[in-house]
Amino acid sequence: MTKGQMEAEISRLLIRFEKEHIGRGPEDARSYIVADMAVVRLRGVMTPAERHLSKDPNGSALIREMRLRLVESSRSLLETWVQGLTGCKVLNLLTDVSTKTGEHILVFVFDQNLEDSFRERRAEEVRAMKPER
């Protein structure tokens, strides 16, 4: 699996999580593997009711609290899904939600540099393709 394919699969996992636990998926999902992290940016995550509620400062706080608690209560499930996909142990999961932009950011921190493993695998493939002299 290439780095791009892995990033797409991580995005699919988070879309699935949002659909199963919130009732709808994000409008857009992008994942980026950077060193020992996977950064996931979900756009358009708020429901119509949440968008309406977010106009009130107390409503915004309530939405953030609910979404952060949801991730925290489902942490082991998310870690299991991502570990199964990447083969890396998840050491930490950081998350935040913006009620202004409707974005949800998640950062998975791994026990190894996943980006380097893709570089090393690609270098080996290139070496294998070079003809011997």
- Indicate the pTM of the whole model: 0.86
d(CA 43, CA 101): 8
Pair 63, 71: CB distance under 8 Å = no
Q: What is the pLDDT of residues 93-128, one digit of tens each?
A: 999 999 999 999 999 999 999 998 887 776 676 667
- Beta-strand ranges (E) seen in the chain are 28-34, 37-43, 90-98, 103-110
- Which one, of 62, 43, 60, lies nearest residue 106 by Cα? 43
Residue-range domain boundaries for the chain: 3-129
CATH assignment of 3-129, among 1.10.3470, 1.10.20, 3.30.980, 1.10.287: 3.30.980
Pair 21, 70: CB distance under 8 Å = yes
